[in-house]
Structure 1
Amino acid sequence: MELRLLFLLFCSSLLVLPTHLTLSSAAKDTDTHLLQPTDQRRDGCISVLLTQQGIDFAKDVLIGKAISSLIPIQLDDIEKSVKIPLVGTVRIRLSDITINEATVGSSRAQAGRPGIQLVASGITAQMSLKWKYSYKVWFVEISDHGVASVQAEGMRVGVIAGVKEDGGTLKLSVLACGCQVEDVSIDVHGGASWLYQAVVDAFQNTIKSKVEKAVAKKITDGIAKLDTKLQSIPKLINIDRTAALNVTFVSDPIFQSSSVDLQIDGLFTSLGNALAPAYHRVGRGASLYYDDESRMIGISLHEDVFNSAATTYFNAGYMDWKINKLPDQSLLNTAAWKDVYPELYKLYPDDDMTLDVKSASPPVITITEDDGNAAIALDVTVKVLNATQVLPVACVSVAINASCTPQILGNNLTGVLDMRSFKLSPKWSNIGNLQTPLLEEMVSTVLGSIFIPYVNSHLARGFPLPVIHGFAIADGEIKCMDSSLIIRSDIALT
């Protein structure tokens, strides 16, 4: 089972922007880590909170990629007529003006109303261009050409990106974008002695203006392309042939002064004809409490996520087992059951048996402040293999109360199921009355040797935590709260 949740797609995509940004002002929102839904806001079953630590980490990692996506930048040609003493009027044309390299002095990314604010300062850009001039002396035209190196210094670029939920995806827009260049130095290679000063005087401000406009346009175009990618994000992620995870966004992101809160549907749904479970609750309360700023990311998984998975797989028939092998195989012979069902051995002496275990209803999973609890209802049907016939002879109901301790193993969310208690009651019997105490001991043996190990073997495979665009959960820790499982973690590169 491979699950590539899109928790970080929005965050990591936005944070590609820090290297090409300029901001007008910083957000002044009051910092908060108790996220209360508003009347207009719908809670998802998966909540993701990216803290300032996480924003800064992603920004620093992706800054090089962002620059490489911008470079090279091609500027429009420039042509001017310049009056040169002792020479006259000279037409000078600059072409193939290209920003080839850029280094960033510092950058910052901050969440706040109305969106993500990103700034990069102290940028130095290396440029190259070709020059050509011509003028006439009497009836003779004199011309020359060559190259020049240009350095734009003290650049400051920034953007304010707004993000809205739109039909389950995120709509990204540019609310403000700009670029400022403090100084431009030009080094002309070749040409007449007067050319250097003429180019500096005539073209310095024009080059600055061209750079500012070209960078701003490149940023705007890049965000438009990024928005197109966001719209193409699938709304369902296939888990296997049976189930998919709904990863649509259910509300606008909430931008605090040092965090971004995302609400994702997060429910499992069937890929077949079974009806998808409906668990959404509008305004059910705080979805994620996160009180650890030193961690980069917080993820809240509401118990409805696990219940929707249980319902989906129950409807698909995955929670039925046929037990025909046990560590103690003698338990699957009527001789071992003659004290439990006295009539069984009389009617079918020394016949082999099978146990059909069926879930009577989807397991009900609750999360408390201590751990996770699972209420499991099973029907166990005893069948006798008599000659060529398989004969159902009795059925009992088993109600299991189990605890599940969540763990993080590598990049997987895993768990261990422990049976706390169980109760059984007869449903029907063709072989007379049963001896309940002896049956409880027998069922306890079967559950302990088959059912619980089987479930734990699947839990050990884990529920893969977010892996997207080279990022993964690292050093995660788990806390159980009322109705939600909280994961606090740093982010690692993969």
Structure 2
Amino acid sequence: MASLALLFFLIISSTFLFSHAANLQLQSSTTQDESFTSILVSQNGLDFVKDLLVNKAISSIIPLQLPATIEKSARIPFLGNVNMVISNVTIYKIDVLSSYVKLGNSGIAIVASGTTCNLTMNWRYSYSTWLVPFEISDEGRASVEVEGMEVGLTFGLENHEGTLKLSLMDSGCYVKEITIKLDGGASWLYQGMINAFEEQIASAVESAITNKLNDGILKLDSFLQSLPKEIPVDDNAFLNVSVVENPILSNSSIEVDINGLFTDMKNVPAVSKNYWQTRQPSFFCTDQSKMLGISLDEAVFNSASALYYDAEFMEWIVDKVPDQALLNTAGWRFIIPQLYKKYPNDDMDLNISLSSPPVIRISERKIGATVYADVIIDVVEADQVIPVACISLVIRGSGSVKIVGNNLGGSVKLDDLQMSLKWSKIGSLRMYLIQPVMWTLVQTVGIPYANSYLGKGFPLPIIRGFTLQNPEIIFSSSKVSVCSDVAYSESDDLDQLYLGCKLFGQQKPRM
């Protein structure tokens, strides 16, 4: 049962990272203490985890050897003093008839009832009597069946400096009935006397199980305190997973609020100045039977957008396109005649840089993104790159979302493109002629490049071995929610946490 508690909270504390937004306007001076991510596990989810982990807990407990050697003496008429000893009492099998997890404002209770366990032990008798001048002894093995056992614990959970702190409120084990069967020696003769040990054996079993529970809670609390407050994304960013509020326990779910924003290596929250956030209600699933709810707020995406913009990762040199004629001045001779006249048949490239972080908006129907970019048209002569003009773009697109395994993936399409001339060294440009070319470049180069990454998606931090099953995607104001059941593969190890969350490459792309 100690392992049940430990693994139960591995699920609760580490399974799901991305979720719904909290509240308040984003300010860099206060975001460290605000919640932008929450974790919600429903009663069905808790029941699933409980059923799975009861078996894991049993396998970790058995075999369990009780430390005590139990001795007892009795005076029997005609026989005299009889010394009885049982030792090497070992629990080798536990069966749980039923178990449940109950949530309340005061804490979390895990109870296994109708439990039976099987034990083995050594027994020995010795006595002396006036009938014979020497000591008489006998020994053998015994099998013990404990029935109607109930095991449970209750604990509280609170935020302690950004981590979860566990406090044991109650634990115990109660044995209802014991049956002892002796083997070896003259067991038929001693069966009645060995039954006198039932109370001591029951007490020893209760004490051993309770001690295991208490030890497990102490280890679990130490584990929770050691959980990292940051998950590395790559060489430039961390994800802030520090707990910012006490967990919320209702009668049917557990919710844990964490910060959830991207931060750079200096622990500075990355937040776009164009982004704001208002209080949103807790996310919900249309199918209330789903085990888990994962809601991704646009704050997470916008913080990532701002961070990688500040790290100057959003710059590209386009020197290859499907229609390579578009990167030679000859291909532009009817679009920008003066460019071809001044640099006839010269190669070109397009230096693209974002003028501000992309802004992501999520509504009840779709995900929208607005990208502000500057495109510098370069002429390449020998080893010299000559900037000739700069065009400002406002690109608007919409995206779709899908679940690929445990990844959140999707795609984007171009909805609108607006242009304006920022500066030119070759005179005025006819923007209406250039716009179809830019649209083609974005459509044939930019969109496929983005979708190649979006299609793979990024992993939702889920404990290794668990996979989403039959997920449902729900759009609402400022967030996308994923409601899902989960499955578990026995081939994986629950103790191995999947903390990878790499969203971007580490090298500036060259297209």
Q: TM-score, normalised by structure 2?
A: 0.85
Corresponding residue for residue 481 of structure 2: 486
What is the CA-CA distance between 1:48 and the residue it aligns to? 2.1
Equivalences for 1:333-372 in 2 at 5 Å? 333-372=328-367
Corresponding residue for residue 74 of structure 2: 82
Change (3 A) 1:171 1:135: same
Corresponding residue for residue 159 of structure 1: 153
What is the CA-CA distance between 1:291 and the residue it aligns to? 4.3
Corresponding residue for residue 127 of structure 1: 119
- Contact 1:111 1:257 (C-alpha < 8 Å) held by counterparts: yes
Change (3 A) 1:214 1:371: same
- Name the SS of the counterpart of 1:327 in structure 2: coil
Corresponding residue for residue 205 of structure 2: 211
- Contact 2:21 2:38 (C-alpha < 8 Å) held by counterparts: no
Whether 1:60 aligns to 2:55 is no
Instruction: For 1:300 and 1:239, locate their aligned partners in 2 and report how far apart those are by CA, in whole Å.
Output: 19
- Contact 1:384 1:391 (C-alpha < 8 Å) held by counterparts: yes
1:299-346 Cα distance to aligned partner (Å, 9 max, x none): 111111111111222222221110011111111111222333332122
Equivalences for 1:124-203 in 2 at 5 Å? 124-138=116-130, 140-192=134-186, 193-201=188-196, 203=197
Number of aligned residue pairs: 464
Whether 1:12 aligns to 2:11 is yes
Corresponding residue for residue 36 of structure 2: 45
What is the CA-CA distance between 1:286 and the residue it aligns to? 2.0
- Name the SS of the counterpart of 1:99 in structure 2: strand
User: Which residue identity lines up with residue 149 of structure 1 in the other structure?
Assistant: S
User: Which residue identity lines up with residue 270 of structure 2 in the other structure?
Assistant: P
What is the CA-CA distance between 1:225 and the residue it aligns to? 1.7
Instruction: For 2:216 and 2:81, locate their aligned partners in 1 and report how far apart those are by CA, in whole Å.
Output: 41
- Name the SS of the counterpart of 1:467 in structure 2: coil
Equivalences for 1:396-411 in 2 at 5 Å? 396-411=391-406
Instruction: For 1:293 and 1:395, locate their aligned partners in 2 and report how far apart those are by CA, in whole Å.
Output: 53
Instruction: For 1:433 and 1:191, locate their aligned partners in 2 and report how far apart those are by CA, in whole Å.
Output: 110
Change (3 A) 1:477 1:282: closer
Task: Name which of 374, 379, 384 aligns with 1:379.
Answer: 374
User: Which residue identity lines up with residue 340 of structure 2 in the other structure?
Assistant: Y
What is the CA-CA distance between 1:487 and the residue it aligns to? 0.5
Instruction: For 2:101 and 2:21, locate their aligned partners in 1 and report how far apart those are by CA, in whole Å.
Output: 21
User: Which residue identity lines up with residue 276 of structure 1 in the other structure?
Assistant: P
Instruction: For 2:141 and 2:284, locate their aligned partners in 1 and report how far apart those are by CA, in whole Å.
Output: 59
Instruction: For 2:439 and 2:8, locate their aligned partners in 1 and report how far apart those are by CA, in whole Å.
Output: 46
Corresponding residue for residue 26 of structure 1: none
Instruction: For 1:241 and 1:43, locate their aligned partners in 2 and report how far apart those are by CA, in whole Å.
Output: 25
Corresponding residue for residue 85 of structure 2: 93
Task: Name which of 37, 62, 69 aligns with 1:71.
Answer: 62
What is the CA-CA distance between 1:278 and the residue it aligns to? 5.1
1:86-127 Cα distance to aligned partner (Å, 9 max, x none): 212212111111111110111111222222211111111100
- Name the SS of the counterpart of 2:193 in structure 1: helix
Instruction: For 1:115 and 1:150, locate their aligned partners in 2 and report how far apart those are by CA, in whole Å.
Output: 35
Task: Name which of 206, 226, 234 aligns with 1:232.
Answer: 226
Unaligned 5+ segments in structure 2 are 1-6, 15-19, 25-32, 490-511
Instruction: For 2:22 and 2:457, locate their aligned partners in 1 and report how far apart those are by CA, in whole Å.
Output: 30
Q: Which moved more, 1:423-432 or 1:218-227?
A: 218-227
- Contact 1:341 1:432 (C-alpha < 8 Å) held by counterparts: no
Whether 1:432 aligns to 2:423 is no
Instruction: For 2:211 and 2:271, locate their aligned partners in 1 and report how far apart those are by CA, in whole Å.
Output: 44
What is the CA-CA distance between 1:461 and the residue it aligns to? 1.4
Change (3 A) 1:278 1:453: closer
1:169-208 Cα distance to aligned partner (Å, 9 max, x none): 211222111111110111122344542211212x111111
Change (3 A) 1:267 1:36: closer
Question: In percent, how many aligned pairs have the same letter?
Answer: 44
User: Which residue identity lines up with residue 73 of structure 2 in the other structure?
Assistant: S
What value does the CA root-mean-square deviation take over the aligned residues?
A: 2.5
Corresponding residue for residue 443 of structure 2: 448
Task: Name which of 270, 273, 278 aligns with 1:277.
Answer: 270
Change (3 A) 1:418 1:487: same
User: Which residue identity lines up with residue 181 of structure 1 in the other structure?
Assistant: V
- Contact 1:411 1:474 (C-alpha < 8 Å) held by counterparts: no
Corresponding residue for residue 24 of structure 1: none
Instruction: For 1:53 and 1:289, locate their aligned partners in 2 and report how far apart those are by CA, in whole Å.
Output: 14
Whether 1:257 aligns to 2:248 is no
Change (3 A) 1:282 1:441: closer
- Name the SS of the counterpart of 1:132 in structure 2: strand
Whether 1:310 aligns to 2:305 is yes
Task: Name which of 466, 474, 479 aligns with 2:469.
Answer: 474
Instruction: For 1:223 and 1:274, locate their aligned partners in 2 and report how far apart those are by CA, in whole Å.
Output: 32
User: Which residue identity lines up with residue 480 of structure 1 in the other structure?
Assistant: F
Change (3 A) 1:361 1:283: closer
Instruction: For 1:36 and 1:322, locate their aligned partners in 2 and report how far apart those are by CA, in whole Å.
Output: 38
Change (3 A) 1:435 1:9: farther
Whether 1:418 aligns to 2:417 is no
- Contact 2:263 2:307 (C-alpha < 8 Å) held by counterparts: yes
Instruction: For 2:10 and 2:276, locate their aligned partners in 1 and report how far apart those are by CA, in whole Å.
Output: 25
Instruction: For 2:21 and 2:463, locate their aligned partners in 1 and report how far apart those are by CA, in whole Å.
Output: 25
Q: Which moved more, 1:445-454 or 1:164-173?
A: 164-173
What is the CA-CA distance between 1:379 and the residue it aligns to? 0.7
Corresponding residue for residue 5 of structure 1: none
Corresponding residue for residue 17 of structure 2: none
Q: TM-score, normalised by structure 1?
A: 0.88
